């Protein structure tokens, strides 16, 4: 394990390497406990580099067995090898030579799940960001592009399947029951995209014909017996390939494309060239075992990894500071794909909810960092919501600012100009400037300034001159390392709504820049004046959530209710409703904390009822509106002095009031929405189930009875309805007989299916209140629980710490104490996983003083531990700073 060296890496320090590695040959002799890797590198010193410059290669826990240059074994004086570094001096004068390095690794004991490891008897690799150096010594950095040829040899009975990147070139039988395969990838790539998979797996195959008529063989490899559950992933893959041709003009470039699902995986999936390796959670689905959310997740992740082939693989990052260049852009592309496959508005609202739930708190806390960070201690800790989700928002804003045609022109130029490059954010911005003639230098601040900008908005309507004025003031709070901030270029999409939501078209706009339906805010404070407005309008601002900002606007409750009823843009419509509800939920939470009862006025209840029964709105949208802000949404709105118990009280009071007021009509709708015909994982079916399951929760509250949920659980013919019913039982009826009965039935039926059992662990980890901690402790001793498996650990420990507001953030601090102990245990096995889980405590300073002090003590306990991994050390110190 890499313990912390305290070394900080800076963007400004980037320097190209002294040497190039145009070709890499890898020869793997696979054995579970003793795998021998022989790497043959064609090395070339760059022009202008001194002849005595040493070659320094990266390693991590490596054991060197043999080292040769041009076939000659190196003497002991010619090199220094430690587990994490190999330095060679006295290199051939002309600077061009062949370096052969033999190392030995143990895939079985590798529980960090980076480098080469075994998962359920399958050999697999994970190299991003710095896992390749756990396989062999190398210049392990993204700008070191090399053409790879890989030979894999293994026991045929143990590993009939031998896969690597690129196209298959050769295979054959050896003596002693062993066999081999050779793969060649003609596209130069960085080491983080290398992959190898060997094992005994089942497969489904299909083909895809590209726009230019090339024939691609597709394979998805899964555990034997699970092949039918990979059919949806295959369908999503083919749709992704077609979509990237249609929308971005990008065609696939190898003869084969393989996806392998493994059950032990730190991330969601990995875009290795031609050989994607997936967490099986994002491959396997059928109606009986997967929810609508799982189906949507599979579609999105399959698309995401496939789209990386162009944005990430063909054009990669110069250094890890540029991570958002591939991730933000590819997230944007997968969002657009899902929007085209499903309902665009519903998809966008889900994105906004996700951004606010994960990225906004990151931006507001001690772990805040720019979309492109300028320094890091451990790159694994920067696979964050800011780099991914906010990175995607930045790309979306470029499209909003330039319009779709110039955006596409810029993207085409990016592919044309940088294909085969390791590029930077500056390169990316430049293509859009060149394609459009616009100056995007102020806009580029979005990559450099951390924090969520706030827009304070005031309005003024003058009936006499028929003029409507909007004044916007932007502000951005200090974040770690950035005390003063510059004004940004923020695109605010808008409409001015008259009676019944009719859009009023201004005759002209004066003041700041307005183009079409976009206000371009560029100064700290700007006025925009619209003439020819015949009635006082209600402004609909930030349509489509056109920028990742918060709004402080002087809209009245009745303006917000008007927007919630009439706005033609469903995103702002949902946003207005949320703002109305949040105002009530936060003020009630303060009342409950002060010992007073929550108050609910009839207008909110009436509004939610109207939306619930408005048949002109699609069911998925209605379900989103009826799912009132979550406990953590309310906590985020409050921002400080948070008491999770008071928040729960406030939220439950609103749910009860709405449930009681509409119980009869909700029951009728619940019955009408019952699924007719067989399950289809499409958007329409998912929307109906989502709405019906929200109603189930309201009805269970209104009826104070578990009967309806228990019946739905028993009769459900799909996992979406079954899991939703189980969730209601655990959330609303805790340790009741009905709940325990359902949990037992679920375990009896799905005990052999790890992905389904993850749901069983999650639902129990989320039980509100003080009982949850004992439940979690008890579940850690369950025969199916293991800290070795990231999915299972995330299901129990992750759900508890990041999802269970009242159970985890207990006033007595026992939740934090337990968490600190558990993090220290996980850190010894899998530092990346431990560090990721620990970010659940990033908002600790926003709690009320008693919880805050308990949280600080637990974080300090972790920080005091000696021998912490670099990953956890980095997170805990930044969180406490």
Any idea what the Cα angle at residue 705 is, between residues 703 and 706, rounded to 5°?
A: 135
Strand extents, DSSP E, 400-549 = 422-423, 454-462, 467-475, 490-497, 503-504, 508-511, 513-515, 518-521, 525-531, 538-541
**Catalytic site positions:** 305
CB-wise, 308 or 584, nearer to Zn ion?
308
CB-wise, 190 or 813, nearer to Zn ion?
190
Site for Zn ion in 313-352 (CB under 5 A): 327
3-state secondary structure 359-371: HHHHHHCCCCCCC
Helix axes 570-593, 602-612, angle to 10 degrees: 140
Quote the least distance from Cβ 615 to Zn ion, whole Å: 39
Quote the least distance from Cβ 443 to Zn ion, whole Å: 23
CB-wise, 389 or 721, nearer to Zn ion?
389
Neighbour count for residue 751 (Cβ, 10 Å): 13
CB-wise, 319 or 327, nearer to Zn ion?
327
CA atoms within 13 A on the CB side of 599: 6
Letters for 271-310 (x = contact with Zn ion by CB under 5 A, - = none) are: ----------------------------------------
CB-wise, 86 or 387, nearer to Zn ion?
387
Q: Which two tokens stand for residue 835?
A: 């560090």
CB-wise, 168 or 268, nearer to Zn ion?
268
Q: Which two tokens stand for residue 121?
A: 């008897």
Site for Zn ion in 506-565 (CB under 5 A): none
On whether the CB atoms of residues 528 and 467 are closer than 8 A, the answer is no
Q: For residue 778, with 0-12 CB atoms within 10 Å meaning exposed, 13-18 middle and 19 or more buried, which class applies?
A: exposed
Q: Give the number of residues in contact with Zn ion, rule: CB under 5 A.
A: 1
User: What is the distance between the alpha carbons of residues 88 and 57, in angstroms, rounded to a whole number?
Assistant: 9
User: What is the distance between the alpha carbons of residues 132 and 125, in angstroms, rounded to a whole number?
Assistant: 8
Quote the least distance from Cβ 632 to Zn ion, whole Å: 25
On whether the CB atoms of residues 650 and 721 are closer than 8 A, the answer is no
Q: For residue 696, with 0-12 CB atoms within 10 Å meaning exposed, 13-18 middle and 19 or more buried, which class applies?
A: buried
Quote the least distance from Cβ 21 to Zn ion, whole Å: 24
Quote the least distance from Cβ 319 to Zn ion, whole Å: 17
Quote the least distance from Cβ 308 to Zn ion, whole Å: 6
User: What is the distance between the alpha carbons of residues 793 and 94, in angstroms, rounded to a whole number?
Assistant: 53
Quote the least distance from Cβ 266 to Zn ion, whole Å: 13
CB-wise, 327 or 721, nearer to Zn ion?
327
User: What is the distance between the alpha carbons of residues 543 and 491, in angstroms, rounded to a whole number?
Assistant: 10
* Torsion of Cα atoms, 53 then 54 then 60 then 66, to 10°: 150
CB-wise, 58 or 327, nearer to Zn ion?
327
Question: Of the candidates 108, 103, 110, which has an alpha carbon nearest to the alpha carbon of residue 63?
Answer: 103
User: What is the distance between the alpha carbons of residues 835 and 832, in angstroms, rounded to a whole number?
Assistant: 5
Quote the least distance from Cβ 171 to Zn ion, whole Å: 31
Which residue reads 């496959």 in tokens?
341
Q: For residue 170, with 0-12 CB atoms within 10 Å meaning exposed, 13-18 middle and 19 or more buried, which class applies?
A: exposed
CB-wise, 140 or 327, nearer to Zn ion?
327
Longest dimension (CA), the chain: 95
Quote the least distance from Cβ 795 to Zn ion, whole Å: 22
Say if strands 196-199 and 122-126 run parallel, antiparallel, or are unpaired. antiparallel
**In the complex, which residues of this chain contact Zn ion (CB under 5 A)?**
327
């Amino acid at each position: 394990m890499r313990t912390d060296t305290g070394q900080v890496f800076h963007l400004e320090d980037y320097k190209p390497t002294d040497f190039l590695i145009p070709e890499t040959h890898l020869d793997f002799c696979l054995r579970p406990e003793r795998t021998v890797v022989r790497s043959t590198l064609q090395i070339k010193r760059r022009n202008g580099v001194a002849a005595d410059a040493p070659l320094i290669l990266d390693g991590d826990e490596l054991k060197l067995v043999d080292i040769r240059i041009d076939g000659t074994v190196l003497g002991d004086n010619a090199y220094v090898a430690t587990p994490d570094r190999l330095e060679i001096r006295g290199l051939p004068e002309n600077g061009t030579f062949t370096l052969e390095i033999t190392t030995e690794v143990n895939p079985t004991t590798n529980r960090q799940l980076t480098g080469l490891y075994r998962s359920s008897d399958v050999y697999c690799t994970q190299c991003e960001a710095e896992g390749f150096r756990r396989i062999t010594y190398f210049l392990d950095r993204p700008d070191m592009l090399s053409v790879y040829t890989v030979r894999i040899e293994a026991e045929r009975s143990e590993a009939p399947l031998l896969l690597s990147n690129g196209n298959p070139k050769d295979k054959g039988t050896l003596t002693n029951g062993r066999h081999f395969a050779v793969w060649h990838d003609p596209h130069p790539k960085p080491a983080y995209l290398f992959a190898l998979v060997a094992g005994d797996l089942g497969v489904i195959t299909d083909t895809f014909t590209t726009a230019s008529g090339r024939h691609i063989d597709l394979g998805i490899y899964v555990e034997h017996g699970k092949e039918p559950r990979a059919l949806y992933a295959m369908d999503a893959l083919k749709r992704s390939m077609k979509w990237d041709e249609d929308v971005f003009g990008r065609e696939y470039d190898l003869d084969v494309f393989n996806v392998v699902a493994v059950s032990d995986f730190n991330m969601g999936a990995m875009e290795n060239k031609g050989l994607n390796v997936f967490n099986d959670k994002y491959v396997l689905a059928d109606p009986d075992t997967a929810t609508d959310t799982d189906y949507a997740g599979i579609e999105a992740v399959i698309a995401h990894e496939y789209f990386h082939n162009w944005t990430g693989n063909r054009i990669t990052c110069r250094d890890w500071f540029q991570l958002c260049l591939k991730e933000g852009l590819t997230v944007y592309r997968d969002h657009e794909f899902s929007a085209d496959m499903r309902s665009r508005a519903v998809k966008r609202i889900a994105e906004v909810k996700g951004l606010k739930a994960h990225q906004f708190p990151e931006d507001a806390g001690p772990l805040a960092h720019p979309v492109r960070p300028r320094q890091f201690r451990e790159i694994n800790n920067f696979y964050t919501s800011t780099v991914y989700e906010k990175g995607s928002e930045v790309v979306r804003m470029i499209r909003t600012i330039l319009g779709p045609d110039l955006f596409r022109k810029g993207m085409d130029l990016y592919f044309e100009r940088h294909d085969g490059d390791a590029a930077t954010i500056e390169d990316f911005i430049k293509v859009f400037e060149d394609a459009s003639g616009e100056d995007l230098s102020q806009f580029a601040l979005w990559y450099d300034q951390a924090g969520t900008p706030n827009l304070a908005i005031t309005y003024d309507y003058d009936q006499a001159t028929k003029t409507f004025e909007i004044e916007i003031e932007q502000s951005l709070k200090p974040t770690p390392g950035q005390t003063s901030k510059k004004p940004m270029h923020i695109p605010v999409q808008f409409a001015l709504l008259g009676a019944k939501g009719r859009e009023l078209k201004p005759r002209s706009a004066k003041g700041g820049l307005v183009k079409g339906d976009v206000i371009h805010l560029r100064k700290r404070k700007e006025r925009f004046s619209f003439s020819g407005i015949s009635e006082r309008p209600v402004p609909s601002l930030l349509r489509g959530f056109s920028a990742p900002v918060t709004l402080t606007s002087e809209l009245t409750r009745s303006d917000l209710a008007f927007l919630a009823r009439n706005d033609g843009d469903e995103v702002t419509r949902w946003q207005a409703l949320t703002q109305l509800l949040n105002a009530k939920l936060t003020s009630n939470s303060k009342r409950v904390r002060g010992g007073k009862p929550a108050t609910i006025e009839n207008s909110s209840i009436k509004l939610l009822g109207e939306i619930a029964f408005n048949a002109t709105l699609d069911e998925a949208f209605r379900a989103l509106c009826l799912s009132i802000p979550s406990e953590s949404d309310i906590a985020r709105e409050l921002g400080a002095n948070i008491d999770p118990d008071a928040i729960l009280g406030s939220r439950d009071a609103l749910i009860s009031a709405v449930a009681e007021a509409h119980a009869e009509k909700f029951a009728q709708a619940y019955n009408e929405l019952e699924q007719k015909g067989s399950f289809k994982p499409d958007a329409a079916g998912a929307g109906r189930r989502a709405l019906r399951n929200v109603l189930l929760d309201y009805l269970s509250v209104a009826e104070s009875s578990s009967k309806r949920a228990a019946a739905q659980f028993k009769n459900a013919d799909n996992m979406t309805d079954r899991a939703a019913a189980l969730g209601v039982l655990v959330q609303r009826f805790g340790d009741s007989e009905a709940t325990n009965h359902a949990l037992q039935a679920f375990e009896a039926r799905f005990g052999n299916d790890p992905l389904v059992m993850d749901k069983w662990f999650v639902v129990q980890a989320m039980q509100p209140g003080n009982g949850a901690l004992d439940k979690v402790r008890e579940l850690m001793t369950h025969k199916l629980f293991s800290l070795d498996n990231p999915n299972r650990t995330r299901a129990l420990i992750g759900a508890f710490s990041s999802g269970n507001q009242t159970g985890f953030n207990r006033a007595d601090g026992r939740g934090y104490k337990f968490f600190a102990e558990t993090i220290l245990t996980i850190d010894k096995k899998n530092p990346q996983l431990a560090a990721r889980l620990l970010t659940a405590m990033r908002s600790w300073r926003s709690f009320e003083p008693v919880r805050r002090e308990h949280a600080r003590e637990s974080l300090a306990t972790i920080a005091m531990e000696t021998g912490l991994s670099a990953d956890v050390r980095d997170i805990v110190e930044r969180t406490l700073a």
